[in-house]
Amino acid sequence: MGSLTGKVAWITGAGTGIGLAGAQALAAAGATVVMSGRRAEVLAQQAGHINAAGAGRAEAEPLDVADAAAVAALAQRILARHGRIDILVNSAGLNTPNRFWKNQTPEGWREVVGINLDGTFHTVHAVLPAMRAQRDGLIINVSSWAGVHHPRLTGAAYNGSKHAVTALTETLNMEECTNGIRACALCPAEVATPIMDRRPVPPSAEDRARMLQPEHLGATIRFLAELPPQACVNQLIISPTWNRMYIDGL
């Protein structure tokens, strides 16, 4: 397994949940992590905690990934500051309580697809030229169990956007493998993150305790990042042992 010292990782959705856990894990392995998200105060606080821990280094860069121009501008700032982007972790994602055909609105649809799918495209598009030039790069797109299977619970916009992220990720491997770029669609089932609060019926504390926890995904992201550059995990599906998608048929 390789060292991440000297590596630069850009993580979206880094204020909470999987993105934050990924930033913490990559920094603990020695990487410089650029943390993006929509809440500047939360990002600054979490970056401060990482810097206080004294392993890698964290920088806070507020961003709405749905804004293509802002994404491109931030990528250029990172490159100007560090000269490289070695790892991109796309963890920005959301769902809406009104997610079923009976209550899905065009606005809700657009919000989910705009972050989950368009946001992933924008960041990938922004880092590819630099990764091609350095002939090396790892892209981890956080898809979902709903990007592989078809759970009813998560609704049309979320399922559709996450299936698209899984497909988009594999096209990167098809087209960019000869440039030293590898991509993984990371597909977790239920993780006890704040997105659970946006469900029509939020899970109980007992159910959340049985789910995957953010630090489990942080460890998974670190594992992927520490693999040697000739190893590509195209897709990784991870679920809780107590998997409600099986038990409850959700």
Residue partners of 25: CB distance under 8 A and separation at least 6: 215, 218, 219, 221, 222
Judge contact between 94 and 39, C-beta under 8 A.
no
Q: Which residues are the active-site residues?
A: 158
By residue count, the chain amounts to 250
* Cβ count near 181 (within 10 Å): 24
What's the CA gap between 138 and 233, in Å, rounded?
10
What's the CA gap between 198 and 24, in Å, rounded?
24
**Tokens (6 digits) for 112:** 């989910």
What's the CA gap between 63 and 90, in Å, rounded?
12
Q: Residue 169: which H helix or E strand, with range?
A: helix 155-176
What's the CA gap between 27 and 166, in Å, rounded?
26
